[in-house]
Structure formats: structure tokens, C-alpha cells
Amino acid sequence: MDNLAPYEPIYAVYGPGTDSAARIQLSFKYRLFGAASRDSTPDWREGLHFAYTQRMFWDLESSSSPFRNIDFQPELIYVTPGFDLTDRVTLGAQAGIRHESNGRDGPQSRSINSLYIAPVISTAVTSGYRLTVAPRLSLYVGDKSDNPDIVRYRGHAGLFMEVGEDEGLRLSTSTRFNFDSGKGAINADLSYPLPRLLGGGPDFYLFVQSFHGYGESLLDYDRRTTRLRVGLALVR
């Protein structure tokens, strides 16, 4: 299973008082060619992966505790190796074809397809701390009849930023915005290794997540919400 690895953060967080109090995310990627542990000359095909992310919004406030919405996100991605610009700065890129849907039919059906590219630059800022910045440009393709005005709320531009230590405090933010409509969203994750906090224990992370803006889930792409949740992460 050398080719299988985590992709986006894997976590479960909870914040009471909403119709989607809990948010759970699973995310993996699979290298289609080559093996991560193989000692050989790198092959350009080794950057090609299939990735899958599933995001679940759980209404724990209701008596039957239903899942209010589940977003499914398969994608085909290509990740370039990092190129050292200096002894402190690394440059790379990721491009992908992504499908997003919530698996429903009728008026609550949501789906969208996109192509994107994101250059990634990472630099050491202080001893042990690194800053990563990745602007993203997306192009929506195919049928958007389930949500014809979704671009108004998502836009074509996004920005990922992360600062922190490998084994310490880390803050990451992900934004998307439409300059014409003035609409968008920001998601922020703050994490810290639980063993360092407790002086031992399970290899998890304390995970605090906030969201503000439009489209926390596909179902609510045109709904503005503010959320604050706390929980645990297996991968950050």
C-alpha cells in the first residue's frame, strides 16, 4: 500500500447550535504509477494520483441525528516535485480535474465539475516554522443545471495559506472569492499535536475549525453561514 496516502485533513469536529453541528472529513490519494518507497530515478508519471474526499455534515441536534448533507469529491490530480529556488524556498504546483456532488436527486441535487491549477511556494520563516502559499485558479466545465449560479458564490479564484511547525502549532486557511459579486468564503483550521498537549497519549491532533461565507456544503452553496467547531484530527 505504498501508493496510498492521506490527501486533505482527516478529522471530526463538533459545534452545537446548528443544523449541521458535526463535520467529518475523510480524504485519501492513490499514486497511479510508481511507488513512494521505490529507490529509482523519478518518473514524471509518479505525480499522477487519483484522490477522493468525502465531507459529511451531521445534524446531531435533531432527534434522529440525520446526516444533513454528504459531499463526494473524486479527482484526478498531478503534483510536481518541489523545486528548490534557494536553500529556504521551494516551488511546486498541482493541477487537477475535480467532480463534486452530494449524491441526491430532485431539488436538492448539487454537482459541479472543475479544472484547476495551483502553484505552491513554501519558505522557512523562522526556526522550525514554514509558510506555504498556493493561489488557485478554477474553470468550471460541463453541466451546471443543478446549481446554475454557483460561480456567483464560488468564483474562479482561491488561496491556500499555511504556517506552522511539523510537530507543533499549525494554522491553515483556504479562501475562495468572486471579485464581481463580492461573495466567497474562508475556512480556517488550527491544530496542535495532542501528545505534546497532554504529555503523551494517542497520536491525534487537537483541531479547531471555523468557516464563514457561502457554500460550506454543496447543498448550501448560496447560503451564508458562520461556524466554529472543535474536535480531533488524524491527519492535518
Helix (H) or strand (E) holding 186: strand 183-193
User: Does the pLDDT value for residue 236 go beyond 70?
Assistant: yes
Contact 55, 73 (CB under 8 A): yes
Q: Any idea which residue has 506555504 for its cell?
A: 132
pLDDT, position 65: 86
pLDDT, position 40: 60
Cβ atoms within 10 A of the Cβ of 33, count? 12
Which whole number is the average pLDDT over 50-55?
Answer: 99
pLDDT, position 201: 86
User: Does the pLDDT value for residue 39 go beyond 70?
Assistant: no
Q: Phi and psi (nearest 5°) for 179?
A: -65, -30
User: Does the pLDDT value for residue 145 go beyond 90?
Assistant: no
Longest dimension (CA), the chain: 57
pLDDT, position 37: 53
Cβ atoms within 10 A of the Cβ of 184, count? 19
pLDDT bin (cut points 50, 70, 90) of residue 17 is: confident
Share of the chain residues as helix, strand and coil, in percent rounded to the nearest 5: 5, 60, 35
User: Does the pLDDT value for residue 38 go beyond 60?
Assistant: no
96-105: pLDDT as tens digits: 999 999 999 8
Which whole number is the average pLDDT over 52-78?
Answer: 94
Q: Compute the residue count for the chain.
A: 236
Residues near 123 by Cβ (< 8 Å), separated by ≥ 6?
A: 88, 89, 90, 130, 131
Its domain, for residue 26, covers: 4-235
Percent of the chain exceeding pLDDT 70 equals 97
Q: Compute CA distances 114 → 4, 111, 141, whole Å.
A: 24, 10, 6
pLDDT, position 44: 82
pLDDT, position 51: 99
Cell numbers that stand for 154 in this block = 464560488
How many separate domains does the chain show?
1
Contact 110, 221 (CB under 8 A): yes
pLDDT, position 193: 97
DSSP classification of residue 148: T
The whole-chain average pLDDT of the chain stands at 93
Amino acid at 120: V
Residue whose C-alpha is closest to residue 227's, from 210, 207, 208: 210
Contact 20, 57 (CB under 8 A): yes
Residue whose C-alpha is closest to residue 5's, from 71, 51, 74: 51
Cell numbers that stand for 13 in this block = 469536529
DSSP classification of residue 80: P
Q: What is the pTM of this model?
A: 0.92
Check which CATH number belongs to the domain holding 194 and give it: 2.40.230.10
